[in-house]
Amino acid sequence: MNVKIDIPQDVKFIINTLINNGYEAYIVGGCVRDSILQKKPKDWDITTKANPNKVMKLFDKVVLTGLKHGTVTVMINNEGYEVTTYRTDGVYEDNRHPKEVQFVSCLKEDLARRDFTINAMAYNEKEGLVDYFGGMQDLNNKIIKTVGEPKKRFNEDALRMLRAIRFSAQLNFKIDENVLYMIKELKYNIKNISKERIREEFNKTILSNPRKIEILKACGILSYIIPGINESYGFNQNNPYHIYDLYEHTIVATEAIESILHLRLTMLLHDLGKTKTKTTDENGISHYYAHPKESVKMAEHILKDLKYDNNIINKVLTLIQYHDCTLESKLLVKRMLNKIGEERLRDLIKVQRADALAQNPLYAKERLLNLISVESKLDLILAKNECFNLRDLRINGGDLINLGFIKGKEIGDTLQYLLELVIENPNLNEIDELIRVAKKKLNS
């Protein structure tokens, strides 16, 4: 097939070394797919007829990264390139891993075990593109199909169901109807996949295209990944500020924020608590008082279950906790700066902007204009170096001890009291003024 791929020199060297020693060798899988799509490959994987022992003899530095599965990593110029012997997989016992692999001498047999047609192509400069399963056609048609029967592929490895959706999000491809049908049929096999693996595929999906969450929903998998989200499906918010049901609001808000993991997760989880906090007033309008607190509880459980690291969890929970707060005055902006710091406050502004963009446009304009004002106030506070934390307070515990304050709680309480005064009145942040106020407090 008339396809030309620009292979890096180090990869060429590995392939040519193998070929010159009598072994077939090709780049394979994702790097072929991405090169054809004119995307920069993340990794360059090589498949070869040579068994691992032969590969090890041909190169100076080889790391035994997956010998059991026929994979070694050849190191060239401090870069690692995985080289895997042609193989077929044995019986899959856990919907994830083959019990054993068997080396084979035929490239077609190796490609036949792979997940999707678009990932089952091989290439070298001598033979060009090798495409036994119609991967090129499916790339042109922008469709995700399995190599062979989807039922067999998904029963072998249930993670492939999430990978199909992830590729659909990353490449903006449709998923073949038979593939979709079988994902719905076999959705419960997802329970055999580790939470870490699910999390990684889910991350890639929401970072690429949150709208593809619809496929997870349609296939009945989303409520397994995010317990409780199914209660938002069709949930009428019954409030003039909203034009979407709760689920659609969530998706639109997630699409509206930039593709940074903790921000996307925040928008996905920020309103989960609404289903548990709904009240309706005498005018028939619904309200969701304290829903951020309930959303924080639900989000914490979900994020920990999916084994996100503490850094991500803390960022997301902080943003959910304050996503509905009011920041209309400079004083409120400064108090929020004191609570969460500049970086999180800038994130919070992004969260509130995305939230507003997913609400009723009649009221969104006012909210969006207010957020521009909040950002201006924040920039002004920082430009003028106004104090909003103890670090910038021009008095410290040692100064208070010299005045006669007792170490411990009294010092902490007094510093907090002085900080609150300075937040309200920046001109008080002078050592003489703070000593005067502290003395007055000590003698009161």
CA angle (262, 264, 179) in 5-degree steps: 125
Cα 162 versus chain centre, distance: 14
Tokens, residue 129: 């593109």
Query: What is the rounded CA–CA span in Å between residue 86 and residue 81?
Result: 16
Query: What is the rounded CA–CA span in Å between residue 73 and residue 292?
Result: 48
Cα 57 versus chain centre, distance: 41
Q: Are 216 and 324 in contact (CB under 8 A)?
A: no
Q: Which amino acid is at 143?
A: I
What local confidence, expressed as pLDDT, does residue 192 receive? 93
Tokens, residue 269: 């989880």
Query: What is the rounded CA–CA span in Å between residue 50 and residue 166?
Result: 32
Both ends of the chain: CA-CA distance in Å? 89
Instruction: Supply the pTM of this predicted model.
Output: 0.92
Name the residue among 218, 271, 210, 221 with its Cα closest to residue 246: 271
3-state helix, strand, coil in the chain (%, to 5): 55, 10, 30
Residue by residue, pLDDT tens for the chain (444 residues) are 678 999 999 999 999 999 999 999 999 999 999 999 999 999 999 999 999 999 999 999 999 887 778 899 999 999 999 999 999 875 556 555 556 678 898 999 999 999 999 999 999 999 999 999 999 999 999 999 999 999 999 999 999 999 999 999 999 999 999 999 999 999 999 999 999 999 999 999 999 999 999 999 999 999 999 999 999 999 999 999 999 999 999 999 999 999 999 999 999 999 999 999 999 999 999 999 999 999 999 999 999 999 999 999 999 999 999 999 999 899 999 999 999 999 999 999 999 999 999 999 999 999 999 999 999 999 999 999 999 999 999 999 999 999 998 888 899 999 999 999 999 999 999 999 999 999 988 887
Query: Which residues, including other chains, have CB under 8 Å from residue 434's CB and lie 6 or more apart?
Result: 393, 394, 395, 399, 418, 422, 428
Pairing of strands 128-130, 122-124: antiparallel
